[in-house]
């Protein structure tokens, strides 16, 4: 009888010990498995939005700025002004620059040119398109977008992370120049966006 009781006690102790070992080993492996690889899945963090040339009055104007609402919330504010419809007769080109390891922008990290600007932009930004349309009070979320001035009181910039960008890319800081052109190849809008791609567990600086 004594022997069986001792065996049961030892068995329980072994089970508990084994459980603790599993718990701590899995916790440690989870906390340590954060590889410092140059590319992978990421979070996108928008840093700045501004026009290419403030002196030019282009027909497509994104008069946006980022404003800190609280310590954890930064909002996109401003207005979107279309003096012409934003439609699929326009083309849009993206020219990316990356931040160099020794500082300074390295141009032409990626160049993309797309026809049917409105439809392609809608596809690229994914679910964030509808957040943008609602936040700026557009009368429709379908292309074409009519001429007019559309104002937002503020949209949390974290809501723009849900886009149809490649799911894996190189980490780092980027700047993209967006140029819209009409059928005559004339520039009708030009804007810059600076953003960072960080690891999912990292905190923005």
Structure tokens at 16: 């508990």
Backbone torsion region of residue 157, taken as left when φ is above 0, otherwise alpha when ψ lies between -120 and 50, otherwise beta: alpha
**Residue pair 63/82 in contact by the 8 Å Cβ criterion:** no
Flag whether pLDDT at 5 surpasses 90.
no
> Tens digit of pLDDT for each residue in 25-62?
444 444 445 667 888 999 999 999 999 988 889 999 99
CA distance 164 to 125: 6
CA distances from 196 to 50, 64, 73, 93, 100 (A): 16, 18, 17, 20, 13
What does the pLDDT look like over 62-108, one tens digit per residue? Answer: 999 999 999 889 999 999 999 999 999 999 999 999 999 888 999 88
More confident residue, 92 or 205: 92
pLDDT of residue 50: 92
DSSP state of 145: B
Q: What's the pLDDT tens digit per position in 109-137?
A: 889 999 999 999 999 999 999 999 999 99
pLDDT, residue 12, reads 47
């Amino acid at each position: 009888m004594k022997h069986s009781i001792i065996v049961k006690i030892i068995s329980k102790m072994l089970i508990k010990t084994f459980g603790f070992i599993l718990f701590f080993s899995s916790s440690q492996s989870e906390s340590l498995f954060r590889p410092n690889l140059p590319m992978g899945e990421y979070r996108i963090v928008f840093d700045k939005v501004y026009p290419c040339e403030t002196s030019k009055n282009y027909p497509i104007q994104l008069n946006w700025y980022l404003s800190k609402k609280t310590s954890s919330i930064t909002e996109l504010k401003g207005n979107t002004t279309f003096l012409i419809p934003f439609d699929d007769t326009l083309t849009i080109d993206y020219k990316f620059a990356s931040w160099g390891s020794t500082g300074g922008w390295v141009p032409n990290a990626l160049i993309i040119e797309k026809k049917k600007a409105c439809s392609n932009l809608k596809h690229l930004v994914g679910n964030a398109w509808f957040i943008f349309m609602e936040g700026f009070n557009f009368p429709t979320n379908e292309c074409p977008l009519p001429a007019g001035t559309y104002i937002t009181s503020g949209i949390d910039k974290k809501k723009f992370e849900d886009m149809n960008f490649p799911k894996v890319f190189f980490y780092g800081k980027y700047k993209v120049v967006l140029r819209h052109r009409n059928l005559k190849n004339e520039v009708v809008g030009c804007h810059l966006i600076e953003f960072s791609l960080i690891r999912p567990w990292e905190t923005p600086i």
